[in-house]
Amino acid sequence: MPTFQISDAPTRLEMQPPGPDGTIPPGKVGFTVRNMGPRAQTGRIRIEPQSGADASWFAIAGAPDTSPSEVEKEFDFGGNEAVEVTVRPPKGAPAGKYGFQLKVTAEQDPDTDFVTGPTVAFDLAAPPVVDAPKKSFPWWILAVAAVLILVVGGAVAFFVMRGGGGKDLAEMPDVLQQRAEAAAMQVATVGHGVTFTTVRQSGATELTVLETVPKAGKKLAEAANATLTIQAPNAACSSLVCSFPGAVFPADVITTLVAEGFDVKYAPALSVADGVVALDAARLDAIKNAAPAAPQVNLPDLKGKSVADAVTLLGGLGLGVAYNKVSSGSANGLVQRSDPAGPVRLEQGSTVAIFYNPVPCSGIRCGVLDRIEIIDGPVIWSPFMTKTMKGQFVQP
């Protein structure tokens, strides 16, 4: 059974007709791929051309330039990845009916673990026939246009020379091989947002920048965003850069998140609207100021253990103990049951009640032990208790 699922997959893409020179405007279509497997895993996403279409016509967002129709993505357990496919047939591509399918393959079992989406059909129209002009060209228009160009050009030149040519465009900083969060901060510092995409490149350090669009030194148009292609993490991603693939992190959101370490625990404070990440400041503060969760430990089944062994084990786990002597069962000093019963996960510092029928004894030692009460606090009251305990001795 495939461990990936393709959803939100359309079955048709409407392509615009070619221009007079045969250039075909590109079309875009989006899919959602979900990891249905029992753990995080790597998936390879590939375009399968249909009906005579060529692989060079297709590009997946975030795919390397060397193989634009194929990309590798890291999926968290139960995680989704948005996949955007651009269809860009070459100039002069023949008219006809074409199509393609999206195929997702699990890297750990590529021969049997894969899923193929529905065929997305699209038509290419023939370029329009341009009729020869029937009237002579009105040459006077060129004269008027030339005058207008001179006037407008002179005005622009004068405005620029007077210092009114608008603000200078920022340059894309050189952030290659830097950690993704630090690279994003540099882009935000010059006033631009960032989109993150992940790929896997042999030998690269995880979450470092492998490629940027635009390249270092190129101008960033006003209100434009940069794209950082980063090395996919080797395991579960602890950074927010993996959480919203394809969405734009605005500069102010990046600045705020960098101050908090870009920790993935702040993901609930973020949302995506129209492809842009929005930050809920109140939710961020609530997460930041929340008390840390108590550590969890595994309580094993204590039944059949001696009281000494059970108490030593509980002390080693940082659990308290409440002693409960019972008269039922064999009087052998072994634990008959515990509350809660193991195996189970508990918060460290919890108290576990053990129930046992002690071995009969006589003499002053037994009488003293029968009257001992363990109070709330650090107590070491017998040779077999190795750590601070909390609990209460309960008489049968």
Name the residue among 76, 62, 72 with its Cα closest to residue 30: 62
Q: What is the CATH number of the domain that holds 255?
A: 3.30.10.20
Residue 83: CATH number of its domain = 2.60.40.3880
Query: What's the pLDDT score for residue 149?
Result: 80
Residue 1: C-alpha distances to residues 44, 339, 388 (Å):
17, 41, 51
pLDDT tens for 352-380 read: 999 999 988 766 655 544 444 333 333 33
Query: pLDDT tens for residues 20-73?
Result: 888 999 999 999 999 998 899 999 999 999 999 999 999 999 999 999 999 999
Helix (H) or strand (E) segment spanning residue 85: strand 80-87
10 Å CB burial of residue 166 (0-12, 13-18, 19+) is: exposed
Neighbours of 293 (CB within 10 A): 7
CA-to-CA distance for 71 and 73, rounded, in angstroms? Answer: 7
pLDDT in tens, 35-48: 998 899 999 999 99
Q: What is the pTM of this model?
A: 0.39
Based on C-alpha coordinates, what's the Rg of the chain? Answer: 34
Residues 16 and 91 in one domain: yes
Pairing of strands 194-199, 226-231: parallel
Range of the domain at 73: 4-124
Number of separate domains in the chain: 3
282: left (phi over 0), alpha (psi -120 to 50) or beta: alpha
Answer yes or no: do 241 and 303 share one domain: no
Q: Tokens 């990845």 label which residue? A: 81
Q: Is pLDDT at 127 greater than 70 in this prediction?
A: yes
Which residues touch 123 (CB under 8 Å, ≥6 apart)?
Answer: 15, 95, 96, 97, 98
Task: Name the H helices within 115-250.
Answer: 140-161, 180-189
Give the Cα separation of 175 and 186 in Å (integer): 8
- Contact between 290 and 263 (Cβ < 8 Å): no
Question: Would residue 346 count as lying in a domain?
Answer: yes
265 within a domain of the structure (yes/no): yes
What pLDDT sits at residue 385? 44
> Does 284 share its domain with 306?
no
pLDDT given for residue 173 in this prediction = 95
Residues 112 and 27 in one domain: yes
Of 112, 102, 128, 82, the closest CA to residue 275 belongs to: 82
